[in-house]
Amino acid sequence: MRKRIQRPSPALVVACIALFVALGGVGYAAATINGADIKNKTIAGKKLKNKTVTGGKVKNNTLTGTQVNESKLSKVPSAANADRATSAGTADNAARLDGLAAGSLRTASAAATLAANVPLTNGDQTILQTTITLPSALTVMATATIDATADNGTDDDNMNCNLKIGTVEGERLSTNIVETPGDDFGPQAGLAATQSLALGAGTHTVLLECGEGSGSNTTITDGALTVWATS
């Protein structure tokens, strides 16, 4: 006797149809959904598995400072040297100005004053003297001023002076001291001298030397010598 096959129930038919639709929908979505179908800013970070998005998945030049937490970034290796740039002694250009090394911009100075009256003679004698030390090749400037008095005799007196930087003598200056009979303080006169000279690094002597004319009787009573260097 032939066994009769039972017809499937309506519920089973509906269940099978739903299963086929569900499976076909997943396949359709996997095959047809791409980035263009996803609305911007709709996928939150918590929906992405940690460490699943690599650099190759990010479009070049799309991340900005707004998306990056700077406090989480480590220091770029070559940037370590920039920390020391705040010290001018270690910066390449901080030690130079307009192409000049820092040493060439340093200045030096010196001075001397007269400690006691100096009677002059016919021959030159050193009245004021000092030294200046240069860190590099610089121009030395010198200026000197002196006051002198004569013997209050009947004839005018005379004194002659010049500066001397190193071995180079400056301009010879002369002044007459006019006698004034009856003047209790004696006749007086002043003299000022200047000189400049380019010199190399090292210590150099600067002095003022003076002498008096024949028949004069002159005494230097005050004096000052100032020396400085400039580039």
In a structure prediction context, what are the per-residue pLDDT tens digits for the chain, which is 231 residues long?
Answer: 555 666 666 666 666 666 666 665 555 555 566 666 677 767 766 677 776 777 667 777 777 767 777 767 776 666 656 665 555 455 555 556 656 665 555 678 999 999 999 999 889 999 999 999 999 999 999 999 999 888 766 677 888 999 999 999 999 998 888 766 655 555 678 889 999 999 999 999 999 999 988 888 888 999 999 999 988
| Predicted local confidence at residue 172, as pLDDT | 94
In contact, 112 and 130? CB cutoff 8 Å: yes
Quote the pLDDT of residue 144.
96
CA atoms of 95 and 78, how far apart (whole Å): 22
Asked if the structure places residue 189 within a domain, the reply is: yes
Amino acid 78: pLDDT: 62
On whether the pTM is more than 0.85, the answer is no
Assigned token pair, 211: 């002498």
The verdict on residue 30 lying in a domain is no
Q: Which domain holds residue 214?
A: 109-230
Please indicate, yes or no, if residue 196 is contained in any of the structural domains: yes
**Is residue 15 within 8 Å of residue 9, measured between CB atoms?**
no
Q: What is the CATH number of the domain that holds 141?
A: 2.60.120.40
- The dihedral built from the CA positions of residue 199, 203, 208 and 209, taken in this order, carries a sign that is negative
Residue 166 domain-assigned?
yes
In whole angstroms, what is the distance from residue 132 CA to residue 100 CA?
21
Task: Count structural domains, the chain.
Answer: 1
74 in any annotated domain: no
**35 found inside a domain:** no
Tell me, yes or no, whether 191 lies in a domain. yes
Q: What are phi and psi of 167, to 5 degrees?
A: -105, 5
Domain membership flag for residue 130: yes
Amino acid 105: pLDDT = 59
